[in-house]
Amino acid sequence: MAFEKVKLPFSLFTLILFGLILLSLQLMSSATQESSELSALYSWLLLINGLGSVVLLSLVGVNIYTLIQHTKKREAGSRLTRRMVSLFVVLALAPAVIVFYFSMQFLHQGIDSWFNVEIDRALEDALELSQSSLDQRMRWHLKQTQQLTEKLQDSSENRVALDMENLRELSGATEMTLFSRQGRIIASSSINLGDILPSLPDKNIWLQLRQNGEYVAVAPAHEEKLMVRAIAKVDTQEPQYLQALYPVPVRVYDLADSVEFAFVRYKEMKFLRHSLKITFTLALSLVLLMSLLAAIWVAFISIRNIIAPVKQLVKGTQAVASGHYDEPLPVIAQDDLGFLVESFNEMMNRIAMARDETRIAGFEVENQRAYLETILANLTAGVISFDASYNIRTANQAAYRIFHIHVNHFIGRQLLDLINDSSELAEPLKSIQRLLEQAEDIWQQRIAFLGPNGRQELLCRGTPLYSQEGLRVGGVVVFDDVTDLIQAQKNAAWGEVARRLAHEIKNPLTPIQLSAERLQHKLADKLEPADAEILQRSTRTIVHQVEAMKEMVDDFSEYAKPSKKETVDIDLSQLVKEILALYTLKSGVKFKTDYEAGVLTVNGDPISLRQVLHNLIKNALEAIDSEGLIEISLHRVQKNNTNFIELALYDNGTGIKEDQIETIFEPYVTTKTKGTGLGLAIVKKIIEDHGGAIWVDTSRKVGAGFIIQLPACHSEPL
Amino acid sequence: MLSSRYLAIFFCCTLFWLLPFTGYADDLATEVIDAEITLQKDHYVLAADIAYQLSKKATIALQSGVPLYWSLQIKLLQQHPYLWDKTVLKTDIHYRLQYQALLNVYRLQNLSSGETYNFSTLYAALDLMSEIQDFPLIEKSKISPEEDYLCALKVKFDRGLLPVPLRSIAYIDKQWYLSSDWTLWPLKK
């Protein structure tokens, strides 16, 4: 389990950026103050903060876009992130907007409250008062100057400078100058002896002077002082103008200046009221916007960090769902989520262990199943299992061997579907199906059908299967091919009959025959010719019948004794050719042979096998006309991984009745008027003693056909 | 494809929004009617005739006691055919105009020379600013007779010196776009 060091939710970069944003906002806030040194940078700060907002908006936009993309792709944790971010934004936005709204309200009301009509009026009145005061002073100084001009009227040009000096000192003016009409300085006197050039009126003053003949105005002087410039006309022959500069008392100037400053400031503020509101609103909006954007951005980062373990958990559960238990999730933090991740890892570990155990158990079950399947497959008994709906679930190889149908191909289908492939199985299968559905316990039944190899006897045992709850979940049918066993039992019984006949009947026959012949011999001469004739006839009858009985008992002996006496490798084609050579000569019957190329060798007793062929050909010859046809073919075949030589013998004679087909190979069954009925029984016995099989080929519709299969020699190539 | 289309629409909207700003300068801008630099003795001197204009808002602001600032920017550039022009001379004349409510006069200060003038009318004050006579720029010796020179003159209304509350508005309100364009002419040697 990987424990990592506990991390702060924000990186250093985020903290620095956040700090810069705050600093920038603080600077901008300071810059809104006119007196601040930062006011010169106000525009730049506004721009920087605006750009900062754009950058933050971009960051938030990118995060929102990424989140939308993730949500669309249904990535792990995206929906939780969306919900948390939405919640955070709503929680952050609502109070911020409320505070912003009321701040704006207070701000606007606050600014508006600075201005009212009374202050406005008071300041205007104060200014007007100051102006009136100065105006009165100006008029007084003008009057004073006009009075001075009267005194200068009589002054000669030589005395005018001296008179002016006296008048200046008398009037309290700082400077006094006498101009000609053309602006030439006639005389000048100043309180400052250093002032060589007097203050000259500008062209506007001259214009007024020429229009009105006098001029008075307050003008700013050096060193932030005010002075009253009064010019009056001196009535002389050549018009002259007397200019006197009177200082405004410092106190008056200070008061007037103070009033003006207050008035201007108030007027300026009043003018700027709207701009001030806009500026504060802008600054406040920018602060709100940046704070919100920064908070949302940080929220994105924080939520991403918080969601990370949840995301991992989701991925982990997806991995578990897809069967991957091998990668434990890293424990990022030692908090509740960390505990959850640890618990998840523990759970995953246990699931992995359980899975491994299940897998091992599965392997064992699979091995067991394979083992059982192998056993079932190699059983000689056929086994077919059924589900609750009596559909075939499993079938082993032996089922195919017995039914000669690939039962495996019918898995999931009904047993009766096998009838489509093999109609002769209809009755036995219906019987099995009925038993399956009806039997409540183990059942057993013998069924017989005509298979491709002749009549087959099956011993079927079945049992219904029950679940632990007692519900019927299917059934199993096991069937053995007991054809050979029954045949062997029959053969043994017939053998015993034959042996007893030989022993119990044959022994008395010779004394009977001898006794009859002795009676004939002793009494023939002593009887009348007529009686002698009767005796001779009777004796002959006894002897003939005894002979017949002997012959019958010999046949039985032949049937009872083992047919496979001395075994050698026999080339069947050669044998058939030899035997056919005997029949070809003495009958008009046509023989058609078909031998497969190569040596067709079997291991057996040549005498017995000759007898088989003789019996079969004899039977065929007896069944057909003199112009009949007998076909004999020899082929190699393979059945159940064993090589066989198949000998097929067909005639176009009268054929075998259908009801006789099943019993044709039993003793005393014959279609002929004469004979013991042991021929085919002996043939079957010899063939079976050689490990082969014989059956009637029912597919042939003309005449009769017999098929013999004998195991090929081991050296026989196929 | 969809996002690029939205981007194009966004740019078009932004351009459309910014379009009115491009025309602001022409309406109320100060105009340099005539300007020439001539050689007087050893100095090149500037003479210019400038038509100042004040918007309604600027006039109200001035009469409300807000001081307005202009700077006359003068540049002399040595022209290079393949490189950037070299600035040989760069000088400014700063003016400050303020209304004095007490005396009902407009006080004009030449901040570069320190001279102060009082005018009873606004037009008289603007009239003083509009006429530049014999303003010495550069010595003759510093001008190479082989090189070509370009003279540039611009009247800039200094919005950065307006009161802070007015400043941000001044950047987006055409009433405060009072600067002139650059006037360029070759130097006659």
pLDDT band at A519 (very low <50, low <70, confident <90, very high): confident
In a domain, B122, yes or no: yes
pLDDT band at A186 (very low <50, low <70, confident <90, very high): confident
3-state secondary structure of A252: helix
Q: Is A404 left (phi over 0), alpha (psi -120 to 50) or beta?
A: left
Q: Render pLDDT for A389-446 as a digit per residue (tens, 0 to 9).
A: 889 988 888 888 888 788 888 888 888 888 877 777 788 888 888 888 888 889 998 8
pLDDT band at A586 (very low <50, low <70, confident <90, very high): low
What burial class does residue A661 get, using C-beta atoms within 10 Å of its C-beta: 0-12 exposed, 13-18 middle, 19+ buried?
middle
Interface with B, mutate which of A43, A48, A266 (most B CBs under 10 A): A43
In a domain, B12, yes or no: no
Q: Which residues of B touch A134 (CB under 8 A)?
A: 102-103
The answer to whether residues A234 and A240 touch, using CB atoms and an 8 Å cutoff, is yes
Q: Residue A568: in which H helix or E strand, if any?
A: strand A568-571
CA distances from A450 to A427, A658, A681, B141 (A): 11, 11, 18, 138
Kindly state the average pLDDT of the residues A153-172: 80
What 8-state DSSP symbol labels residue B70? E
Q: A180-214: buried (b, 16+ CB within 10 Å) or exposed (e) per residue?
A: eeeeeebbbbbeeeeeeebbebeeebbebbeeeeb
Q: A15-39: buried (b, 16+ CB within 10 Å) or exposed (e) per residue?
A: eebbeebeebbebbbebbeeeeebb
Q: Across all residues in chain A, what is the average pLDDT?
A: 82
Instruction: Provide the number of structural domains found in chain B.
Output: 1
CB atoms within 10 A of CB A671: 18
d(CA A334, CA A340): 10
In a domain, B4, yes or no: no
Contact: A267, B164; criterion CB under 8 Å:
no
Between A42, A226, A263, which is nearest B164 by CB?
A42
Q: Which residues of B touch A264 (CB under 8 A)?
A: 64-65, 101
Instruction: Please give, rounded to a whole number of angstroms, the shortest distance from the CA of A315 to a CA of chain B.
Output: 31
Question: Apex CA A580: angle with CA A579 and CA A583, to 5°?
Answer: 100
Q: Which residues of A touch B64 (CB under 8 A)?
A: 264, 267-268, 270-272
What's the sign of the alpha-carbon dihedral B100, B103, B104, B108? negative
In a domain, B30, yes or no: yes
In a domain, B13, yes or no: no
In a domain, B58, yes or no: yes
Q: A254-282: buried (b, 16+ CB within 10 Å) or exposed (e) per residue?
A: eebeebbeebbebbbbbbbbebbbbbbeb
Q: Render pLDDT for B135-154 as a digit per residue (tens, 0 to 9).
A: 888 888 888 888 888 899 99
Q: Render pLDDT for A319-341 as a digit per residue (tens, 0 to 9).
A: 888 878 777 877 777 778 788 88
Q: Is A41's pLDDT higher than 70?
A: yes
What's the sign of the alpha-carbon dihedral B129, B135, B138, B143? positive
Q: Render pLDDT for A404-417 as a digit per residue (tens, 0 to 9).
A: 788 888 888 888 88
**What chain A residue is nearest to B116 in terms of C-alpha separation?**
A220
pLDDT (0 to 100) of residue A9: 52
d(CA A38, CA A23): 13
- Residues above pLDDT 90, as percent of chain A: 5
Contact: B65, A218; criterion CB under 8 Å:
no
Kindly state the average pLDDT of the residues A38-48: 76
Most distant pair of Cα atoms in chain A: their distance: 242
In a domain, B6, yes or no: no
Between B118, B164, B169, which is nearest A220 by CB?
B118
Between B102, B120, B168, which is nearest A256 by CB?
B102
Domain encompassing residue B139: 21-186
Task: Name A660's Cβ contacts closer than 8 Å, sequence gap at least 6.
Answer: A669, A671
Q: What is the DSSP string of B24-67?
A: HHHHH--EEEEEEEEEETTEEEEEEEEE----HHHHHHHHTT--
In a domain, B2, yes or no: no
pLDDT band at A468 (very low <50, low <70, confident <90, very high): confident
Chain A residues at the B interface, defined by Cβ less than 8 Å, are 31-34, 39-40, 42-43, 46, 127, 130-131, 134, 204, 218-220, 226, 256-257, 259-260, 263-265, 267-268, 270-272, 275-276, 278-280, 282
Kindly state the average pLDDT of the residues B88-97: 92
Kindly state the average pLDDT of the residues A636-647: 80
Chain B residues at the A interface, defined by Cβ less than 8 Å, are 60-61, 64-66, 100-104, 107, 116, 118-120, 124, 160, 163-169, 171
CB atoms within 10 A of CB A154: 10
Q: Render pLDDT for A120-160 as a digit per residue (tens, 0 to 9).
A: 899 889 989 988 888 898 899 999 888 888 887 777 777 77
What burial class does residue A453 get, using C-beta atoms within 10 Å of its C-beta: 0-12 exposed, 13-18 middle, 19+ buried?
middle
Q: Is B26's pLDDT higher than 70?
A: no
d(CA A622, CA A616): 10
Q: Which residues of A touch B163 (CB under 8 A)?
A: 34, 268, 272, 275
Contact: B164, A39; criterion CB under 8 Å:
yes
- Residues above pLDDT 70, as percent of chain A: 92
pLDDT (0 to 100) of residue A360: 93
The answer to whether residues A317 and A338 touch, using CB atoms and an 8 Å cutoff, is no
What ipTM was assigned to the predicted interfaces of this complex? 0.73
**A324-333, A686-695, A703-712, B6-15, range with greatest mean pLDDT:** A703-712
d(CA A155, CA A158): 8
Rounded to 5, what percent of chain B is helix, strand, coil? 30, 40, 25
Q: Across all residues in chain B, what is the average pLDDT?
A: 83
Between B100, B116, B166, which is nearest A275 by CB?
B166
Q: Is A238's pLDDT higher than 60?
A: yes
